[in-house]
């Protein structure tokens, strides 16, 4: 009887080890590419699965840009207006709590002053709850935008005061 318990325990332990080895993943870092070299972005972590992805394609991290410029992203999720039930993106500038809603894979960023800026993009469900993936890019605006009131291409609304 004792050897039977030992066998069951050993088999159970082996199964748990196999499950742990197959079901563990770390947050992936992916980099997109474009004519400007792409940017490094962080994808969300879904342990045990290859969940949704989000990558900033351009501008490349550390790129020098002239405002306005196009922010381009890539995601394996269908993007659209929240009213359609599709996922969408929130775009944050320089750690602000205000964001712009992005409903397609590109958006014109305007209204940024000359200097260093950090752009954070998060993937959101239609109800604005987070899906998980986030991507960040740092850019150096060499010539700031004179307009601060234009809206971004593909955006449907804003929760903040940035002109992008």
User: Per-domain residue ranges for the chain?
Assistant: 28-158
Q: DSSP for 68-121? A: SEEEEEEESSPB--GGGT-BEEEEEETT-S--EEE-SSEEEE--PPSEEEEEEE
pLDDT digits (tens, 9 = 90+) for 47-72: 455 899 999 999 999 999 999 999 99
Q: Which residue has the higher pLDDT, 34 or 55?
A: 55
CATH class of this structure's domain 28-158 = mainly beta
**pTM of the complete model beyond 0.75:** no
């Amino acid at each position: 009887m004792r050897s039977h318990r030992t066998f069951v325990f050993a088999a159970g332990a082996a199964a748990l080890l196999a499950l742990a080895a197959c079901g563990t993943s770390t947050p992936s870092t992916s980099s997109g590419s474009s004519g400007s070299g792409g940017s490094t972005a962080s994808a969300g972590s879904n342990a045990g699965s290859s969940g949704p992805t989000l990558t900033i394609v351009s501008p490349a991290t550390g790129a020098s840009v002239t405002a306005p410029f196009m922010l381009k992203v890539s995601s394996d999720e269908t993007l659209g207006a929240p009213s359609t039930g599709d996922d969408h993106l929130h775009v944050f500038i320089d750690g602000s709590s205000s964001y712009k809603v992005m409903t397609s894979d590109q958006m014109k960023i305007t209204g940024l002053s000359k200097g260093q800026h950090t752009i954070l993009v998060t993937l959101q469900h239609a109800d604005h709850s987070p899906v998980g993936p986030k991507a960040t890019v740092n850019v150096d605006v060499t010539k700031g935008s004179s307009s601060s009131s234009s809206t971004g291409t593909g955006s449907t609304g804003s929760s903040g005061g940035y002109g992008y």
